A and B are shown apart, each in its own frame.
Chain A
Amino acid sequence: MSDLGFSFSLSQLWQVAGGQIILLIAGLVLIFVDLWLSTDEKPDHVATMGWLTALSFLVALKYMTCTGWTLNEIVLVDVFSTEKFAIFVSAIVLMAGIFASLMSIGYMRNNKLVRSEYFILLLFAVYGTIAMVQSVDLLMMFIALEVMSLSVYVLAAFLKNDRKSQEGALKYFLLGSFGSAFFLFGVALMYGLTGTVNITKIAQVLSSGPLLENPGVLVAMAMLMSGLFFKMALVPFHMWTPDVYEGSPAIITGFMATAVKAGAFGIFIKLLSVTFTPILAHSGQPEFQSTVNLAALAAYWKPLLWWLALITMFVGNLVAVSQQNVKRMLAYSSIAHAGYMILGILAANDEGRMGVLFYLFAYTLMNMGAFGVLYLLDGQEGKAQTLDDYKGLGFKYPALSFLMALFLVSMAGLPPTAGFIGKFYLFAAAIKEGYFVLAALGILTCVIGAYYYLRVIWMLYMVEPSREVVAGGVGVPSMIALIAAALGIMYFGILPEGLAQVANVAQQGLAMVF
């Protein structure tokens, strides 16, 4: 913002925002393609649109991970940066996008939904999330957050004839706007206090001046954090989650639980480590010699996160136990997973940030997988939505049920799955910093978690069917997505080191945002 001269070359623009540009162009192209198609033709082209969307995500992913990853830190007019942290989170978001678009093809076919806006909105949602995590400017962050949110609000309301979908979307819109307003108010306060919206410059101003004494800084920090807590669905900011997750189309629920959450976690970690923590002490910048001051801020947010982690894990897991609707149960479970990830953020060490990145990756695989199976079992007729409907499906649909079981075992954190390794990283980071009590209590909530995940598995395999359930046809795209997710979970569960190394490099990028 401060530099309004726009002195950058096109090649710089392409290097920094290449991924975003690809998605934007793809989105615009798809809008025009959609305009050309007549209403009768549309059903035939759902698959094409889905594949094209997935392809553009793949191209963006390829660009960001291959070219973007090799770049040194470039900051574009103080707005976007190419730090590896943002690229890693973007890769997770793009991966979620690929899964979502592949699975949506089958989903739309099974539910007789033929609307190409769906894929266009998905593209813009992913674009917004990536722009959000790449930005180093609070205003840009907010704008990108809104691009993402607005697309997702509409996607959540996509089942027009389903009252639950409408109710959930409205709730999401109202509470989400509330959260955004908090965030924006925090931005305004920060700007008023420090005279800048650039997150690194805020850190400079904070650490050099007597501003830290000013309670306004704490209010601004609290506002910014609360806005993000809404998106991350931490207890007590979670009230919208169950209804929205239950009402939305299954794939969109999976997308919200993974991509949107990954984005929110991404900028939360970025804000905490760049703006509000002494991580900068390592960056060797002379102007940060007084970063010790920032430790004073950590003294405020650490106890806060301690309690948030605890109640999020407990409430998420305990309430999930009493859910009969599988989708709603997974909604509460995703709240609990956010609690586990807070453990890693609370630890605020390399292992913790690495753990959160690894967990977000693993969590995306298993959650997208679980929602994928969920929509397939949901079928066309005789919707299977409650635990009762899952009874005895295990031997009727062996492949789908096995995949579901695998995803759930991974969510329960049992080896040899990526979910287990991720949880191990998170808890190890917390224990390293001496949070024994929190880790022990947290692991007990994992036992509760294991109970309700296994309950789905025992409904599938150990109980006789109570009524006839016909699963929807598994198309090729969904099959590819599910098998890829399952293989990923197993692979990173057995050989996690490679991914963990990459995640570690990514989180180290945070210390070098300058």
Chain B
Amino acid sequence: MNAPILTYVTFLPLLGVLAILFIPQRSESGKNAIRWVSMVISTLVFIVSLRLYFDFDPDVAGFQFLEQYTWIPSYGITYFMGLDGLAFWLVLLTTFLTPITILSTWTAITKRVKEFQIAMLVLETAMLGTFVSLDLFLFYVFWEIMLIPMWLIIGVWGGERRIYAAIKFFLFTAVGSFLMLVCIIGLVYFHHQETGELTFNLLSLYDTNLARTYEILFFAAFALAFAIKVPMFPFHTWLPDAHVEAPTAGSVILAGILLKMGTYGFFRFAMPLFPDGSAFFTPLIIVLSVIGIIYGAMVAMVQPDIKKLVAYSSVSHLGYCMIGLFVLNRHGVEGSILQMINHGISTGALFLLVGVVYERRHTRMIAEYGGICRPMPIYASIFFLITLSSVGFPTTNGFIGEFLILLGVFEVNKAYAVLAATGVVLGAIYMLWMFQRVFYGKVSNPKNEKLKDLNRRELAYLLPLVALVFWIGLYPNFFLSKMHASVDHFISQVKISEPASPCAAVEHHAFVDDKTPLDVSSAKE
């Protein structure tokens, strides 16, 4: 583990950007060359990141692959990277989804190919950097850099109302994250007052003892930034707009990875940094998550636009992730992490699938389709498998995630578990109903009669996703076994202040099945 592998993985995409800069895009062959370079580089990133899998030690509760270099010493800012059981999977999810997404843009993005591929690769670097940063300043830098390429992807290559959607996306995210910066600096100076050490190192800042008022304030600011990104119920309004207007590739990355930044932020920063604040807000966040689950599902049900339906289903699915995270037991948190990965795979796949028919018909209205399983049988089968995954059908990944989360919630509060479980039922209704209207019956619209089925390129990017759906569904322990140590560590960090917590009633059974001895200090190597 001597090679700085996280740096390689994070910055390798920029190498692709350099290469692409020198390819002219006037001719069709130039455009293809750009696409191939982008594809090859992102695949290479995936292959390099697989190396992490072999070196990752699942028994370590703290961070691995640590890299630390001084960067801005007068402020105690370092270039500090590392992985734990959550970041590990999110990094792999990112490196896995990016080449798939790039492959899907072959015929979808035909204008300004060069700029698009550059934006994609810069975005990949920023996303990976966000997941591996262990220095709050470094994290913030990547977090903000990510905004610009995504903003451009929605705004330049999006649909009719793309500018409105793009700027809404940007402003919502910026309000949250700018305020977070103020609180990051505040936290650092409180730490400085307490210990005399000026540092942005996350691991040192974990030990800061803040006054309760400040914990609550700071948690609120961090939570706002992350809740907007997740998005949690009252802050979700940017999401449907962004998804509907974004090009397919943008939607896939947005749903597949960017939304996870929110839940990841809670897991990595907001909750362990401010356990008291987290305890204070837990009841509110759980209620909002339950509302999000049900509200998202109900709104999804009445959408005439498939993409908007999938977008609202994200609100519902991310509600599960949030509630699982905040019940603070192993089932809940692991379910939540697994559900993050699941959502990336199945919702990513759904957006890709919607993109496939959109490219052929240039509409996403459910009413325009009907009976298309006749002209497109392979497409229909894959769509069906992904639908099953999205509704949480047993043997698929969705089932495992939702089941674990509900189990975790049940241990803590039965009423919320029952309410959250209605989301599964509603999910089945809106997904299957949509599937029925789009694929079954007669081909009502003559334009749909001659639709071409999936070609080889489309199969190439869809099949890996289908394989993963069943891999996680049938053998989840492959994924869960890497998380145990980190999850237990996380719970112990956030749990510290439990006796004083005003929501003791909610958390009361939380440690029921935690048998692993906890080692708080192990993160400090």
Q: Give the B-binding residues of A (Cβ under 8 A).
A: 395, 409, 414-416, 420, 424, 427-428, 431-432, 436, 439-440, 443-444, 446-447, 450-451, 454-455, 458, 461-463, 496-497, 500-501, 504
Known: A431-B185, A436-B186, A451-B171. A497 touches B74 (CB 8 A): yes
Q: Does B366 contact A (CB under 8 A)?
A: no
Contact of B141 among A395, A415, A427, A455 (CB under 8 A): A415
Contact of A454 among B75, B151, B182 (CB under 8 A): B151
Are B179's CB and A497's CB within 8 A? no
Q: Does B288 contact A (CB under 8 A)?
A: no
Are A439's CB and B170's CB within 8 A? no
Chain A, Cβ-Cβ closest to B193:
A432
Known: A432-B189, A458-B167. A497 touches B178 (CB 8 A): no
Q: Does B112 contact A (CB under 8 A)?
A: yes
Q: A455 to B166: give the CA distance in the assembly, Å.
A: 11
A-B contact pairs, 15 of them (CB 8 A): A416-B141, A424-B181, A427-B181, A428-B75, A432-B189, A436-B182, A436-B186, A440-B182, A443-B178, A451-B167, A454-B170, A461-B152, A462-B162, A462-B163, A500-B72
Are B185's CB and A427's CB within 8 A? yes
Against A, the Cβ 8 Å flags (1 = close, 0 = not) of B117-150 are: 0000000000000000000000011001101100
User: Which residues of the partner chain B approach A450 to less than 8 Å between Cβ atoms?
Assistant: 170-171, 174
User: Which residues of the partner chain A approach B147 to less than 8 Å between Cβ atoms?
Assistant: 414
Q: A34 to B179: give the CA distance in the assembly, Å.
A: 55
User: Which residues of the partner chain B approach A415 to less than 8 Å between Cβ atoms?
Assistant: 140-141, 144-145
Q: How far is the CB of B78 from chain A (nearest CB, A)?
A: 12
Q: How far is the CB of A395 from chain B (nearest CB, A)?
A: 7
Known: A428-B185, A431-B186, A436-B186. A444 touches B148 (CB 8 A): no
Q: How far is the CB of B6 from chain A (nearest CB, A)?
A: 18
For B, the interface residue count at a CB cutoff of 8 angstroms equals 31
Q: Does B156 contact A (CB under 8 A)?
A: yes
User: Which residues of the partner chain A approach B174 to less than 8 Å between Cβ atoms?
Assistant: 447, 450
Q: Does B292 contact A (CB under 8 A)?
A: no
Q: A504 to B162: give the CA distance in the assembly, Å.
A: 45
Sorted from nearest, which 8 A-B pairs have the closest CB atoms?
A415-B141, A462-B155, A443-B178, A431-B185, A428-B185, A447-B174, A497-B72, A415-B144
Q: How far is the CB of B500 from chain A (nearest CB, A)?
A: 24
Q: A439 to B147: give the CA distance in the assembly, Å.
A: 22
Are A500's CB and B189's CB within 8 A? no
Are B155's CB and A461's CB within 8 A? yes
Q: Does B73 contact A (CB under 8 A)?
A: yes
Q: Does B460 contact A (CB under 8 A)?
A: no
Are A439's CB and B182's CB within 8 A? yes
Q: A99 to B166: give the CA distance in the assembly, Å.
A: 34
Are A414's CB and B144's CB within 8 A? yes
Chain B, Cβ-Cβ closest to A504:
B74
Q: A297 to B182: give the CA distance in the assembly, Å.
A: 29
Contact of B179 among A414, A440, A500 (CB under 8 A): A440
Q: How far is the CB of B141 from chain A (nearest CB, A)?
A: 4
8 extra interface residue pairs, beta carbon distance < 8 Å, beyond A440-B182, A447-B175: A415-B144, A415-B145, A416-B141, A427-B185, A443-B181, A462-B155, A496-B72, A497-B74
User: Which residues of the partner chain A approach B166 to less than 8 Å between Cβ atoms?
Assistant: 458, 462
User: Which residues of the partner chain A approach B171 to less than 8 Å between Cβ atoms?
Assistant: 447, 450-451
Interface centre among A447, A463, A497 (most CB of B within 10 A): A447
Q: A500 to B147: give the CA distance in the assembly, Å.
A: 27
> How many A-B Cβ pairs are below 8 Å?
77
Are A420's CB and B148's CB within 8 A? no
Q: A269 to B147: give the CA distance in the assembly, Å.
A: 35
Q: A454 to B150: give the CA distance in the assembly, Å.
A: 13
User: Which residues of the partner chain A approach B155 to less than 8 Å between Cβ atoms?
Assistant: 458, 461-462
Q: A415 to B143: give the CA distance in the assembly, Å.
A: 9
Q: Does B71 contact A (CB under 8 A)?
A: yes
Known: A427-B185, A462-B162. A501 touches B74 (CB 8 A): yes
Q: Give the A-binding residues of B (Cβ under 8 A).
A: 71-75, 112, 140-141, 144-145, 147-148, 151-152, 155-156, 162-163, 166-167, 170-171, 174-175, 178-179, 181-182, 185-186, 189
Q: How far is the CB of B460 from chain A (nearest CB, A)?
A: 31
Q: A504 to B72: give the CA distance in the assembly, Å.
A: 13
Q: How far is the CB of B22 from chain A (nearest CB, A)?
A: 14
Chain A, Cβ-Cβ closest to B170:
A454
Are B73's CB and A497's CB within 8 A? yes
Q: How far is the CB of A437 from chain B (nearest CB, A)?
A: 10
Chain A, Cβ-Cβ closest to B73:
A497
Are A444's CB and B145's CB within 8 A? no
Known: A450-B174, A458-B155. A444 touches B185 (CB 8 A): no
Chain B, Cβ-Cβ closest to A500:
B74
Q: How far is the CB of B114 from chain A (nearest CB, A)?
A: 10
Q: A416 to B74: give the CA distance in the assembly, Å.
A: 18
User: Which residues of the partner chain B approach A500 to less than 8 Å between Cβ atoms?
Assistant: 72, 74
Q: A496 to B141: give the CA distance in the assembly, Å.
A: 13
Chain A, Cβ-Cβ closest to B138:
A415
Q: How far is the CB of A398 from chain B (nearest CB, A)?
A: 9
Q: A455 to B171: give the CA distance in the assembly, Å.
A: 12
User: Which residues of the partner chain A approach B112 to less than 8 Å between Cβ atoms?
Assistant: 395
Q: A475 to B31: give the CA distance in the assembly, Å.
A: 31
Q: How far is the CB of A493 from chain B (nearest CB, A)?
A: 9
Chain B, Cβ-Cβ closest to A440:
B182
Are A416's CB and B145's CB within 8 A? yes
Chain B, Cβ-Cβ closest to A501:
B74
User: Which residues of the partner chain A approach B170 to less than 8 Å between Cβ atoms?
Assistant: 450, 454
Contact of B163 among A444, A463, A497 (CB under 8 A): A463
Q: A462 to B156: give the CA distance in the assembly, Å.
A: 5
Q: A160 to B116: give the CA distance in the assembly, Å.
A: 45
User: Which residues of the partner chain A approach B145 to less than 8 Å between Cβ atoms?
Assistant: 414-416
Q: A416 to B147: give the CA distance in the assembly, Å.
A: 12
Q: How far is the CB of B497 from chain A (nearest CB, A)?
A: 23
User: Which residues of the partner chain A approach B151 to less than 8 Å between Cβ atoms?
Assistant: 454
Interface centre among B141, B147, B166 (most CB of A within 10 A): B141
Are B185's CB and A420's CB within 8 A? no
Q: How far is the CB of B122 from chain A (nearest CB, A)?
A: 11
Q: A446 to B175: give the CA distance in the assembly, Å.
A: 9
Are A458's CB and B163's CB within 8 A? yes
Q: A450 to B155: give the CA distance in the assembly, Å.
A: 15
User: Which residues of the partner chain B approach A432 to less than 8 Å between Cβ atoms?
Assistant: 185, 189
Q: How far is the CB of B223 from chain A (nearest CB, A)?
A: 15
User: Which residues of the partner chain A approach B163 to less than 8 Å between Cβ atoms?
Assistant: 458, 462-463
Q: How far is the CB of A447 from chain B (nearest CB, A)?
A: 5
User: Which residues of the partner chain A approach B71 to less than 8 Å between Cβ atoms?
Assistant: 497
Are B72's CB and A461's CB within 8 A? no
Interface centre among A415, A432, A461 (most CB of B within 10 A): A415
Q: A440 to B218: give the CA distance in the assembly, Å.
A: 12
User: Which residues of the partner chain A approach B74 to less than 8 Å between Cβ atoms?
Assistant: 497, 500-501, 504
Q: A436 to B214: give the CA distance in the assembly, Å.
A: 11
Q: A450 to B178: give the CA distance in the assembly, Å.
A: 11
Q: A497 to B179: give the CA distance in the assembly, Å.
A: 24
Q: How far is the CB of B45 from chain A (nearest CB, A)?
A: 20
User: Which residues of the partner chain A approach B182 to less than 8 Å between Cβ atoms?
Assistant: 427, 431, 436, 439-440, 443
Q: How far is the CB of B280 from chain A (nearest CB, A)?
A: 19
Chain A, Cβ-Cβ closest to B189:
A432
User: Which residues of the partner chain A approach B185 to less than 8 Å between Cβ atoms?
Assistant: 424, 427-428, 431-432, 439
Q: A409 to B148: give the CA distance in the assembly, Å.
A: 9
Are B179's CB and A443's CB within 8 A? yes
Q: A431 to B190: give the CA distance in the assembly, Å.
A: 10
Interface centre among A427, A462, A496 (most CB of B within 10 A): A462
Q: A306 to B112: give the CA distance in the assembly, Å.
A: 47
Chain B, Cβ-Cβ closest to A450:
B174
User: Which residues of the partner chain A approach B148 to less than 8 Å between Cβ atoms?
Assistant: 409, 414
User: Which residues of the partner chain B approach A461 to less than 8 Å between Cβ atoms?
Assistant: 152, 155-156
Q: A328 to B396: give the CA distance in the assembly, Å.
A: 58
Q: A420 to B140: give the CA distance in the assembly, Å.
A: 11
Q: A450 to B167: give the CA distance in the assembly, Å.
A: 10
Are B189's CB and A431's CB within 8 A? yes
User: Which residues of the partner chain A approach B181 to less than 8 Å between Cβ atoms?
Assistant: 424, 427, 443
